[in-house]
Amino acid sequence: MSEKTETFNPFDPTGMLRTMRDSGMDAWSKMMIQLVNTDAYAQATASMLDAWLTSSAPFRKVIESVTTQVLINLNLPTRADVVSLAERLTNIEMRLDDLEARLEEGPRPAGSPAPAPKNRRGPAEAHS
C-alpha cells in the first residue's frame, strides 16, 4: 500500500484509531484474499450460483411473459419486435449497399447483361 510518514502521537486519539483501523483492515484483507483464492471457495460459490440460477429460472420466465403482456397492452414494442425491426433494417442496409455498388460501377451499354448481385449473407441466411 502506501508508506506512512506520520510519527506516532500518543495525544492524538484519532491517530490511534486510524492506526487500529488500518491494521485491522490489512489483516482482514490478507485473510479474505487467502480465502477467496482457494478451490473450496470457488466450488462453494459455483454451487450456490448454480442453485440460485436453477431456482430463479421459472420466475424469470414468468416475469418475461408478464413484461411482454404489459408492453403489448401499453402499445410499446417488445423485445421480439425490436429484434425483427433490427433484422429488417439490416436487410435494407445490405440492399442499399448493393444499389450503391451498382451505381458506382457506372452505366452499362444497352444489351449487355446485368452483373450478378453479390450475396453478402451467409449460406444459411441466403434462402430465408
| 32-62 pLDDT per residue, tens | 999 999 999 999 999 999 999 999 999 999 9
- pTM metric for this prediction: 0.43
- 66 and 38 within one domain: yes
Higher pLDDT, 119 or 24: 24
Amino acid at 32: M
List CB contacts of 121: < 8 A, sequence separation 6 or more.
Answer: 94
Amino acid at 118: K
- 85 and 35 within one domain: no
- 67 and 20 within one domain: yes
> Are 45 and 52 contacting, i.e. CB atoms less than 8 angstroms apart?
no
Q: How far apart are CA 61 and CA 16, in angstroms?
A: 54
Q: What pLDDT does residue 7 have? A: 72
**Domain range enclosing 101:** 76-105
Average pLDDT over residues 101-110: 80
- 86 and 51 within one domain: no
117 inside domain? no
DSSP string, 7-73: PP-TT-HHHHHHHHHHHHHHHHHHHHHHHHTSHHHHHHHHHHHHHHHHHHHHHHHHHHHHHHHHHHH
- 26 and 67 within one domain: yes
